[in-house]
């Protein structure tokens, strides 16, 4: 960069800040051409939708007539008049509060457990734990395992052992829907963050552990707390973000296994509620309000947790 600056008639010191920025922009024309295609699409399909959702959420709009400004009325209706929204909000928060941390902790623990296995075995174990998250709709097998009739594995065994007289309607009984869906969600949740943890653990400088042993670290738990976790903070951060975002987007598993809406609206989440208003009723303003609230919740949770992780070990 300094080489090019020398060629200029003016040097950095003689230019104002704006002139200098303009100079850098012209010098790096190519960089703008390179980022443009991706960034334009990214704005159209990701950033602008969030902004527009916020704007639309202050309107009443049905796609046919022009939108009408109603200010906060959508939000007021949501919180005061829409019982189903409150159910969905509660369920979403419960799902997120359980599956987010649980999947994060399981991902980390498994990655940590298998870290010292020989490479061949480690890659097989990695495959076993990672496979459910990439294998498409393989989670439908849980529907077969917990099927309502005696041909379901679980009902079959319970009947055979004489523990129950009639099959349990697992996915159609308000008592079981939430716990089962959480288990299935956890089963499919060892994804990218899990791989990131494995790589992070592998990347820790081994001499740190030796130094730690000399400095009086007595067991693997102390080693985990004082060396391992602080050394892989960037991965912990990345993993947390993926775990949180994933835990709020929950909903597809409930629809697939328990139906939409599920029995008594148990397990009915914000994404179902949003689908109802944007897909079936076309109340765009109202749906936009739900979208924007989902956005706020996810960003809020993520910012909070990443702040916490960045404090780790300080």
Partner 1 sequence: MKKLRTRKHQVVLNRSAGGDVGITIMLTFLGIFMFLPMYYTVIQSLKPLNELFYFPPRFYVENPTPDNFTDLFNLMGDSWVPFSRYIFNTVLISVGGTFGNLVLSSICAYALAKIEFPGGKQCFWLIQKSLMFSATVGGLVNFITMSMIGWIDTYLAIIVPAWCSTLGLYLMKQFMESNVTTEILESSRLDGASEFRTFWSIAMPMVKPAWLTLIIYSFQGLWNAGSSEYIYSEQLKTLNYAIGQITAGGIKRAGASAAATVVMMMVPIMVFVITQSNIIETMGSSGMKD
By CB under 8 A, the residues from 128 to 187 that bind partner 1 are 128-132, 134-142, 144-145, 147, 149-153, 156-157, 159-160, 187
From candidates 19, 71, 179, 203, binder to partner 1 by CB under 8 A: 203
From candidates 242, 243, 253, 258, binder to partner 1 by CB under 8 A: 242
Q: By CB under 8 A, is residue 98 in contact with partner 1? A: no
Site for partner 1 in 26-45 (CB under 8 A): 28, 30-32, 34-35, 37-39, 41-42, 44-45
User: What residues contact 234, with CB distance under 8 A and at least 6 apart?
Assistant: 200
Q: By CB under 8 A, is residue 75 in contact with partner 1? A: no
Stretch that binds partner 1, among 74-82, 94-102, 195-203, 259-267 (CB under 8 A): 195-203
Residue 93 or 145 with smaller CB distance to partner 1: 145
Q: By CB under 8 A, is residue 48 in contact with partner 1? A: yes
From candidates 200, 261, 262, 267, binder to partner 1 by CB under 8 A: 200
Cα separation, 139 vs 61, in Å, equals 37
CA distance readout (Å), 137 to 80, 257, 288: 37, 11, 29
CA distance readout (Å), 269 to 53, 95, 161: 19, 9, 36
246 in Cβ contact with 259 (< 8 Å): no
Q: Which x/- pattern over 246-265 shows residues binding partner 1 (rule: CB under 8 A)?
A: x-xx----------------
Q: How many residues are present in the chain?
A: 314
Residue 56 or 258 with smaller CB distance to partner 1: 56
In the complex, least distance from residue 13 CB atom to partner 1, rounded to whole angstroms: 19
In the complex, least distance from residue 265 CB atom to partner 1, rounded to whole angstroms: 19
From candidates 63, 162, 166, 311, binder to partner 1 by CB under 8 A: 63
CA-based end-to-end distance of the chain: 37
Cα separation, 96 vs 181, in Å, equals 12
81 in Cβ contact with 307 (< 8 Å): no
CA distance readout (Å), 276 to 57, 88, 264: 16, 12, 16
From candidates 76, 97, 105, 127, binder to partner 1 by CB under 8 A: 127
148 in Cβ contact with 166 (< 8 Å): no
Cα separation, 262 vs 169, in Å, equals 13
Cα separation, 278 vs 92, in Å, equals 18
Stretch that binds partner 1, among 69-77, 97-105, 165-173, 289-297 (CB under 8 A): 289-297
From candidates 91, 185, 235, 253, binder to partner 1 by CB under 8 A: 235
Stretch that binds partner 1, among 66-74, 79-87, 90-98, 109-117 (CB under 8 A): 109-117
264 in Cβ contact with 174 (< 8 Å): yes
């Amino acid at each position: 960069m300094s080489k090019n600056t020398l060629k200029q008639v003016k040097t950095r010191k003689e230019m104002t800040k704006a002139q200098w920025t303009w100079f850098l922009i012209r010098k790096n024309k190519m960089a703008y051409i390179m980022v443009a295609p991706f960034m334009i699409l990214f704005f159209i399909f990701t950033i602008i939708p969030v902004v527009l959702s916020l704007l639309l959420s202050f309107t009443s709009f049905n796609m046919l007539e022009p939108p009408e400004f109603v200010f906060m009325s959508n939000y007021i209706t949501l919180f005061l008049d829409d019982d189903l929204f409150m159910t969905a909000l509660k369920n979403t928060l419960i799902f997120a509060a359980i599956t987010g941390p649980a999947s994060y902790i399981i991902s980390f623990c498994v990655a940590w457990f298998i870290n010292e296995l020989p490479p061949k075995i480690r890659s097989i174990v990695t495959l076993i734990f990672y496979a459910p998250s990439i294998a498409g709709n393989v989670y439908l097998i849980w529907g077969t395992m917990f099927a309502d009739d005696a041909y379901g594995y679980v009902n079959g065994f319970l009947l055979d052992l004489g523990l129950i007289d009639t099959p349990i309607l697992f996915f159609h009984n308000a008592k079981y829907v939430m716990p089962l869906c959480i288990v299935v969600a956890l089963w499919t949740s060892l994804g990218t963050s899990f791989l990131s943890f494995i790589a992070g653990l592998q990347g820790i400088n081994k001499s740190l552990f030796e130094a730690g042993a000399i400095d009086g670290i007595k067991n693997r738990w102390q080693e985990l707390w004082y060396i391992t976790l602080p050394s892989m903070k960037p991965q912990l951060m990345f993993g947390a973000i993926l775990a949180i975002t994933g835990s709020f987007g929950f909903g597809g598993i409930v629809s697939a296994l328990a139906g939409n809406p599920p029995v008594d609206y148990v397990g009915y989440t914000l994404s179902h509620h949003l689908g109802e208003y944007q897909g079936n009723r076309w109340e765009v303003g109202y749906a936009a309000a739900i979208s924007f609230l989902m956005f706020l919740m996810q960003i809020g949770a993520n910012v909070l947790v990443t702040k916490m992780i960045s404090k780790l070990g300080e």
